[in-house]
């Protein structure tokens, strides 16, 4: 984990020459085109036992969190709260930021503080975690390592994965970090994220991400007993 922290600081500090101007420019765009507040703050789980008031650019209308949340949206099949990219809740600057993959740039502040990592599973609000735990008792495994700005799920696209697939990827990443971490794992995920956002690389599929984690881990990926039970219980077409 110390190597991972060094990687986080190295990327955040050396890339400051790029992300600080982007942060300032994007803030001005949101302010002029959408008004205040520029940032959206909410309490999110970032690791087991630790919740942080995270920050990101506001990409939706001001009352979006009251219109769409786990209280107002029925849980039907999907327990992650994935808002469609064509939702009318997005503002014009918000669509631009989402398209460029810049929404979470302000969270580099959390990385510098040691609250988050560059690469990891995305932070989640408490209401979503409670819904996940109702069906997946092992949902907390996704926070065995710190949450990140980007992660292996982003190499596929959250809307292209079922809840069980997403949790299996997230759990596999955490176990790889804890039991066989190699710096090139985070470097590959980060670089692949940039290339996919820039449309220079095609998104991976579920198996492609699992294979990537295997290739960049010191030892073969450790499957938990829960994961084995889950995979054995679902049709093979769901994990292909």
In tens, the pLDDT along 102-112 reads 999 999 999 99
CA dihedral over 209, 213, 216, 221, signed as positive or negative: negative
User: pLDDT tens for residues 143-180?
Assistant: 999 999 999 999 998 888 999 999 999 999 999 999 98
Nearest to 143 by CA among 50, 6, 41: 50
Give residue 163's region: left, alpha or beta (phi > 0; psi -120 to 50).
alpha
Q: What is the pTM of this model?
A: 0.86
Helix (H) or strand (E) run with residue 47 in it: strand 39-47
The C-alpha atoms of residue 138 and residue 228 are separated, in whole angstroms, by 12
The C-alpha atoms of residue 27 and residue 34 are separated, in whole angstroms, by 10
Nearest to 204 by CA among 150, 156, 159: 156
User: What 8-state DSSP symbol labels residue 124?
Assistant: B
3-class secondary structure per residue, 168-179: HHHHHHHHHHHH
User: pLDDT tens for residues 124-148?
Assistant: 999 899 989 989 999 999 999 999 9
The C-alpha atoms of residue 164 and residue 236 are separated, in whole angstroms, by 13
* Residue 62 tokens, joined: 């001001």
């Amino acid at each position: 984990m110390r190597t991972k922290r060094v990687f986080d600081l190295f990327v955040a500090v050396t890339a400051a020459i790029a992300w600080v101007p982007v942060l300032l420019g994007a803030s001005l765009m949101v302010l002029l085109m959408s008004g205040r507040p520029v940032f959206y703050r909410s309490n999110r789980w970032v690791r087991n036992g630790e919740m942080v008031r995270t920050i990101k650019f506001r990409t939706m209308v001001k009352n979006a969190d009251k219109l769409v949340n786990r209280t107002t949206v029925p849980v039907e099949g999907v327990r992650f709260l994935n808002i469609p990219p064509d939702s009318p809740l997005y503002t014009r600057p918000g669509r631009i930021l989402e398209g460029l993959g810049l929404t979470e740039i302000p969270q580099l502040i959390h990385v510098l503080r040691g609250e988050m990592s560059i690469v990891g599973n995305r932070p989640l609000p408490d209401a979503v975690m409670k819904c996940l735990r109702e069906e997946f008792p092992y949902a907390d495994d996704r926070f065995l390592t710190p949450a990140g700005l980007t992660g292996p799920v982003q190499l596929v696209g959250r809307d292209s994965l079922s809840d069980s697939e997403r949790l299996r990827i997230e759990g596999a990443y955490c176990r790889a970090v804890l039991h066989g971490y190699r710096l090139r794992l985070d470097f590959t995920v980060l670089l692949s994220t940039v290339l996919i956002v820039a449309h220079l690389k095609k998104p991976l599929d579920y198996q492609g991400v699992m294979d990537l984690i295997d290739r960049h881990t010191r030892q073969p990926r450790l499957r938990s007993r829960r994961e084995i039970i889950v995979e054995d219980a679902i049709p093979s077409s769901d994990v292909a």
